[in-house]
Amino acid sequence: MHVATPGTPRSVEYVAAVVWGLAVWLCERGIDRLGVCADPRCPTAFLDDSSNRCRRFCSDRCATRHHVRAHRARHRATQP
Ligand SMILES: [Zn+2]
């Protein structure tokens, strides 16, 4: 199967193949597996490959950063 017109630049073929692969992956697993990071400072999209479909952050590092920021904000709010 060809996902790009013959003779197109190699980079276009790679991008077309990646988009094709993403479309197949989403069709098999469901569009709800495509998400955007729950951290308001992070615009990263991700594919949720968890078994219970509950992933909220693009990475563990981003989740930790978000939770530390929330913890510090709660701590500041309790300080006089
Ligand atoms: Zn993120």
pLDDT digits (tens, 9 = 90+) for 20-76: 999 999 999 999 999 999 999 999 999 999 999 999 999 999 999 999 999 999 999
| Contact predicate 69/49, CB 8 Å | no
The long-range contacts involving 17-26, CB below 8 angstroms and separated by at least 24 positions, are 22/47
Predicted confidence at residue 79, as pLDDT, reads 85
For the domain covering 10-78, report its CATH number. Answer: 1.10.3300.10
Task: Report CA(41)–ligand 1 centroid distance (Å).
Answer: 8
Q: How far is the C-alpha of 10 from the C-alpha of 30, rounded, in Å?
A: 29
How far, in Å, from the CA of 2 to the mean position of ligand 1?
33
pLDDT of 52 reads 92
CA of 9 to the centre of ligand 1 (A): 32
The domain ranges of the chain are 10-78
